Structure 1
Amino acid sequence: MASGNKPQTLKHPKEITEESSGDKVLIEEVRLVVPETDDPSLPVMTFRAWFLGATSCTLLIFLNTFFNYRTQPLTISAILMQIGVLPIGKFMAKVLPTREYKVLGWRFSLNPGPFNMKEHVIITIFANCGVSYGGGDAYSIGAITVMKAYYKQSLNFICALLIVLTTQILGYGWAGMLRRYLVDPSEMWWPANLAQVSLFRALHEKDSRSKGFTRMQFFLIFMVASFAYYTLPGYLFPILTFFSWVCWAWPHSITAQQIGSGYHGLGVGAFTLDWAGISAYHGSPLVSPWFSIFNVGVGFIMFIYIIVPLCYWKFNTFDARKFPIFSNQLFTTTGQKYNTTNVLTPQYDLNIAAYDNYGKLYLSPLFALSIGSGFARFTATLTHVALFHGGDILKQSKMAMKSAKLDIHARLMKKYKDVPQWWFLSLLFGSIGLSLLMSFVWKKDVQLPWWGMLFAFFLAWVVTLPIGVIQATTNQVFYQIVSPYLSNIMGINKRQPGYDIIAQFIIGYILPGKPIANLLFKIYGRISTIHALSFLSDLKLGHYMKIPPRCMFTAQVCH
């Protein structure tokens, strides 16, 4: 299964680099980390890549879906597989037979040579498909869980499977259409990918040791140290996960718990020595630009330490003092938990008479204010992209049909056959067709009519580009201003711009009293965007590591 994407004329990597030495990369971090060479002769889609990639993807999907139901979700990133498959790949290169096989005129070998960096990259791309931006699992699985657990709905298996598959394939269709805007330009540098590129080079390139440690030695020392350290917060001293001196000082004070608790309050004075807690909601701060982290910090302080306390203790906004300051539960006017099944018909529609009799639904103050801030986050995203990147997007659109100037990485990738646009369009329209079919066949189950599906697709197409521009340049889809703990209880992504809130309000106004339709509209309107961003990030990683585009397409579509 050796790569079938080799160019007819092969050149030494140095020759390729020298020809394009004038195409300077604009981003300094990219120049320092990403190699500006390529060896097109390296096999990519080998038996080792398929076996290890499929295994990694399956394992990560299972683990991340399982751990995503924790109060503090644990996301197992593809970096774990990136490290773990290296010794296995080298072992397979030593023990597998080198004999060449012929099947239906197709020649391949189980062992085409040493385990190389491009194989390693494509395995990681496989694994990345099991770690989507929706929290590590197919986000739509979480929505199906809501339908079964909270609405007690008996959902047809085929219908549930189509929901999961079509949302992901739809996202890949968007990604293919937006490649020229979010992958090819040098300005779209996707900061998170640089950590993986650096790790690939540390694992495969040999350093000449002079003074200090080599990259491999440095990596191994810190890997062992971090593994050993995690026994403290993870097993021996769990209190280090979130330590609040305020709660210790006043253990019987409700107000102190509301102010200082890292789990159920504002977390004032609380801190963590657990890296899983630090990176659980915003991702690793080591791969985000400093200005992005600064904006997140300022927004967090303004919202959590100023706005929320004022609304809760001074103004009693939305009768806030009747409820916990921080909770993902729904409440009655007396502060008791709200039973949603009491206000639904057997067809899962809102029963207005039962709702009037049971009483209004209330949210915790932090939950309610965060939903309100979603409107500001979403409009700020669109405004920022229009003002700061609108000209570049327009220029890129005009040059899409022309020969635009390429940097060294884009020029090296021109050596490989590109993926025809109709491949992506086929996936896109096929997914749309299956989704529309589902809206007719299981009309009572999904509640969302065909025109609602089309409206969701339209909204997803409109917002994917501006959200992608911000993530590709800052590693943050937006400058998060809500409590990181709230991101999880709301069921939203670590870095999402409030779009799902807008989508739910829109369809709630158009189709009132249809909670399942609202949920499905959110899935197709927002989750396809998340998957598109995940696929685009992987495409940029393949771009940096010079993986043939058709190999990337095969790896992402098959998983």
Structure 2
Amino acid sequence: MSETVKDKIIIDEKVSTKGTVDYVEGAEYSERLSNHSSDFSQWYTDEQILHFMKKLGYENRTLYDIPEDVAYILKKMPELTLEDSFEILKDSIIYYKDDENIPHDQYEEWKRLVYLDSKEGTDDYDSFDVRAFASAIKFHSPYQEVRAVVDPEDDPTIPVETFRAYFLAIIWSIIGSGFNEFFSHRVVSISLDTPIIQMFLYICGKAWAKTVPCWTITIRGRKYGINIDKPWTQKEQMFSTLLYAICQGAFYTHYNILTQKLFYHSAFSFGYQFLLSLSVQFIGFGFAGILRKFVVYPARALWPTVMPTIAINKALLGKEKHESGMSRYKFFFLAFFIMFIYNWFPTYIINILNTFNWMTWIKPNNINLANITGGVTGLGINPISSFDWNVISFNSPLVYPFWSYLTQYLGCILAALIVIAVYYSNYMSCQYLPIFTNSLYTNTGDSFEVSEILDSDNKLDVKKYQSYSPPYYSAGNLVTYGAFICAYPLMITWSFIVHSKLLFNAFKDWALNLWALRKLKSWVTMFKSNYRILDDYDDPHSNAMKNYKEVPDWWYFAILIASLVVGIAVVEHYPTNTPVWGLFVSLGFNFVFLIPTTILQATTGYSFGLNLLIEMVMGYALPGNPIAIMILKAFGYNIDGQADNYVSNLKIAHYCKIPPMALFRGQCIIVLIQIFVNLGVLNWQISNIKDFCTPHQNAKFTCPDAVTYYNASVVWGAIGPKRIFNYIYPIFKWCWLIGACIGIFFGVWKRWGKFYPRYFDPMLFVGGMLNMSPPYNLMYYTSGMIVSYISQYYMKRHHLNLWEKYNYVLSAGFSTGLVLSAIIIFFAVQYKDTAFNWWGNTVPYAGADGVGYPLKNITDTANGYFGYAPGHYP
């Protein structure tokens, strides 16, 4: 053993045996080490440092190029004894068991080192590895994704909740919310996503800090000013970013308003719109407070989708030390510039880069070729399908872990094969319709008009229905709905088998808290308590967050109750045909499903909604009542969607050490502002845009999402699930059983069986089948699969140093360049319909793929329709 290693271990042993005085030795040692972080060889042997970097995946690093996270881990190592390190590894082996986000070879190394401890056979290298891995877990993170972008240390004195941060967040939230609402109803939607706003916030924040005078006033001994005598800080930047991000969640009630006004021709006042939106947008807050214990504070709650947001802030304002090569800051703007220029080509100049359906060019009018390989109306089975980053990044290939993306992609392939089987077996005469479209059809192949089957109260008129037609889906939509139905019983059975302990504790805590409120003393305790929830967590980020006051549970609970009261008032006062008990049913479904769905998103990045489940259940309870179904669907889905949105924000704040109380106040303010802005823009569009939400609107404001929402209200609200399940599409009812059996099979196999595939999650697989939802075919996932393999597998495994430094910055830079370029292209050339007509722009949409022909012609039938005869509809 080298002398330096002996000296280090002796110091550590003193720390563990002599108490406080000798701990100062360890602290001094750590300080000395940090002062020489560019040359650790004086404290550890060169071989040990290089050996450990290889263990973490850094194959090509030298002693003069030690990554920041490794340097920090080496700096903190003296604070742990060898015995403590073994205990940390033992606990981690249990805690991170079956965690797919922990590299398998790293987890196996932990087990090997702990096994050596039981044999008392550790050598110098093994002892070093034990302490190093334990330090990574204790003082930073075992996840490469987190170590790549999250700073492990915190300075609580850095300004966060400043006037300038609030002002910029509010201004950009108003601009962004209005812009996003305006373009969300366009066929190719454009949005000011969080990455581009981060860049604008950075520019505005730096300018504000330099130019605005530092005028202050003093209130009760505390100074308040429009500017502070400090540079724009990384925490201010993140605080403003999070406030903007919270209003980027789905403004779900715009679907209700559009559908009721334009499709059901019902007039409702602004008061109705505001109160409904207020209740729907805020009700998710209450559940977010409950979810904190399960998907924010635990270290296993990785949330891979939040990493690019943190990466941008680190690139713009973080300080890079001891790193070779191009800085993150320069790389971000390089990626931004490249994508800003390149996006003009697939978007406007040469559209074949967007839809590279090259196989259909062989025989443009061959319907079968278009159905299988087409990227416009076909299934998109094409190994090289797109060169457009807007298509390639559709499922976030630079963000999702490779195992998650691969599992979803395999589900997409299975869904495509099932669509082929359904269509070419002519199930329920679906060959009289296009193979892959989200439209709803009559039995003559025309678009379904719900107004033809409703009475004056917007309820089903059976006589009109019998003289019109049942609704029919394309084969693509049939498979999507079948997968959706499978997913719910699968999630219940899988979660309650695999995550039984977690769910039991969650439901028990929730039930006990509610039961305790029957006593006045419990209410007093709840109001006075500081709710030191983080005392139960010992990872470095939770420990750092203990410096800030946590938001009491009763704040979230109060918002939940107030939002529910407003919701009850809306459905009671206005003619919505919606019973109050329906709201409590929506709450109940979220109580059961919200924790499993959020755990899925926190660990895999995949999000899953309850919209179809609410529709089907309430369709049975309220048959022939589409307006009520839509309102209850808005509550049921948005509780889940907004709760996940709030929770993901809380996780970013947890990683970046943003005070929870400040974030809570800011979130409430911004969401309230968002409601006014979005409703104002939406009502202006309805009143001022000609042919708004019609198929041939000049500027392409055809409202595709609202059309899907409307179609669902027709099928599950007006017609009702009873007719759908028993007569029109009886296969759907068997999907409940199929989903339950899949969940039980894989749940039992994973929990009690042997040789279960480590990276297989049946929920993700079925989620991939749901991704194949018309009009989004395999074209939107195949190119992304290639990028995911390169980034999340090859680069992460063989070039970790480059991946860790640049991967999320690349994702953020490309996204920012893409959005800004799309905005300029739209206003410069597309808005005025300045078409660039040449072969490279017209060939993708020529022929059968561009039009979407059915395989069979309805005129070839004996009666001019398919299915049931008029007057005998189910």
TM-score bracket relative to the smaller structure: 0.7 to 0.9
1:115: which partner in 2? Answer: 232
Q: TM-score, normalised by structure 1?
A: 0.88
Give the superposition deviation at 1:395.
Answer: 5.6
* Cα distance in 1 for residues equivalent to 2:191 and 2:208: 28
Does 2:163 correspond to 1:52?
no
CA contact (8 A) 1:243 1:272 kept: yes
Range with greater deviation from structure 2 (450-459 or 30-39): 30-39
State the distance in 1 between where 2:496 and 2:660 align. 30
Find the aligned partners of 2:386 and 2:167 in 1 and give their Cα distance.
Answer: 39
Number of the residue aligned with 1:430: 562
User: Residue 640 of structure 2 corresponds to which residue in structure 1?
Assistant: 529
| Contact 1:33 1:197 (8 Å CA) reproduced | yes
Q: Which amino acid aligns with 1:240?
A: L
Q: Residue 222 of structure 1 corresponds to which residue in structure 2?
A: 335
Aligned twin of 1:297:
409
**Mapping of residues 14-33 of structure 1, within 5 Å:** 22=138, 25-33=141-149
Q: Distance in 1 between matches of 2:568 and 2:221?
A: 40
1:456 aligns with 2:593: no
Matching residue of 1:328 = 438
Q: Which residue of 2 aligns with 1:286?
A: 398
**1:340-389 Cα distance to aligned partner (Å, 9 max, x none):** 10101111011112111212221112112211210112222333333333
* SS of corresponding position for 1:509: helix
Following superposition, the deviation at residue 407 of structure 1 comes to 0.5
**Structure-1 residue corresponding to 2:381:** 268
Match of 1:493 in 2: none
SS at match of 1:252: coil
Shift, 1:66, TM fit: 2.4
- Structure 1 residues 502 and 210: alpha-carbon distance in aligned structure 2, compared to 1, 3 A threshold: closer
Residue segments in structure 2 that go unaligned for 5+ positions in a row: 1-30, 35-71, 81-134, 510-531, 671-874
1:404 corresponds to 2:542: no
Instruction: Tell me if 1:379 matches 2:494.
Output: no
Q: Measure the CA separation in 1 of the matches of 2:550 and 2:164.
A: 24
**Is the 8 Å Cα contact of residues 534 and 546 (structure 2) preserved in structure 1?**
no
Deviations 1:165-224 (A, max 9, x none): 211100111101211111111111111112222221121123247642112122221111
1:71 is matched with: 187
Are 1:56 and 1:126, in contact at CA under 8 Å, matched by a contact in 2? no
Q: Does 1:345 align with 2:455?
A: yes
Question: 1:470 matched to which residue of 2?
Answer: 600
Check 1:272–1:63 CA distance in 2 against 1; reply closer, same or farther (3 A cut).
farther
Offset, 1:96: 1.1
Could you tell me how far apart the structure 1 residues matched to 2:643 and 2:330 are? 36
Q: 2:391 aligns with which of 258, 277, 283?
A: 277
C-alpha distance in 2 between matches for 1:396 and 1:505: 27
Query: Which residue of structure 2 lines up, in the alignment, with residue 7 of structure 1?
Result: none
Structure showing the higher helix proportion among its residues: 2
Q: What residue is the counterpart of 2:524 in the other structure?
A: none
Change (3 A) 1:246 1:149: farther
Query: How many residue pairs were aligned?
Result: 518
Structure 2 counterpart of 1:158: 271
Match of 1:207 among 306, 310, 320: 320
Q: 1-side partners of 2:589 and 2:571: how far apart?
A: 18
Q: Aligned in 2, Cα 1:336/1:109: closer, same or farther, shift over 3 Å?
A: same
The amino acid of 2:189's aligned partner reads P
CA contact (8 A) 1:419 1:549 kept: yes
Which residue of 2 is the match for residue 546 of structure 1?
657
User: Aligned letter for 2:261?
Assistant: K
Q: Which moved more, 1:14-23 or 1:288-297?
A: 14-23
Amino acid at match of 1:546: K
Alignment partners' CA distance in 2, 1:405 and 1:341: 56
* Cα pair 2:184 2:190 within 8 Å, conserved: yes
Aligned partners of 2:140 and 2:152 also within 8 Å: no
SS of residue paired to 2:500: helix
2:297–2:534 CA contact under 8 A, matched in 1: no
Secondary structure class of the residue paired with 1:286: coil
Instruction: Determine helix, strand or coil for the equivalent of 1:506.
Output: helix
Contact kept, 8 Å, 2:534 with 2:543, in 1: the verdict is no
CA deviation vs aligned residue, 1:215-274 (integer Å, no higher than 9, x gap): 212222111111111111122113322120122111122333322332212112261211
Taking the aligned partners of 1:381 and 1:26, their CA distance within structure 2 comes to 28
Q: CA deviation at 1:396?
A: 6.8
| Partner amino acid, structure 1, of 2:285 | Y
In the alignment, is the contact (CA less than 8 A) between 1:385 and 1:469 conserved in 2? no
Deviation at 1:394, TM superposition (A): 4.3
Secondary structure at the residue paired with 2:177? Answer: helix
1:536 offset after TM fit, Å? 0.3
Q: Tell me the distance in 1 between the aligned counterparts of 2:506 and 2:619.
A: 36
Aligned equivalents of 1:210 and 1:170: distance in 2? 45
Per mean C-alpha deviation after superposition, the further-off stretch among 190-199 and 429-438 is 190-199
The residue matched to 1:362 in structure 2 has which SS? coil
Q: 1:423 to 1:333 in 2, by over 3 A?
A: same
Distance change (3 Å), C-alpha of 1:347 and 1:123: same
Instruction: Report SS of the residue matched to 2:464.
Output: helix
Q: Distance in 2 between matches of 1:372 and 1:335?
A: 22
SS in 1 for 2:633: helix
**Structure 1 393/512 Cα, relative in aligned 2: closer, same or farther at 3 Å?**
closer
> Is the 8 Å Cα contact of residues 26 and 186 (structure 1) preserved in structure 2?
no
Q: Secondary structure at the match of 2:499?
A: helix
Give the RMSD, CA atoms, in angstroms: 2.4
Distance 2:463 2:538 in 1: 63
What SS does the corresponding residue of 1:42 show, helix, strand or coil? coil
Q: Name the CA distance, whole Å, in 2 between partners of 1:448 and 1:254.
A: 45
8 Å contact from structure 1 (residues 243, 271) kept in 2: yes
Q: Aligned residue for 2:287? A: 174
**Contact in 1 for aligned 2:353/2:388 (Cα 8 Å):** yes
| Structure 1 residues 255 and 180: alpha-carbon distance in aligned structure 2, compared to 1, 3 A threshold | same
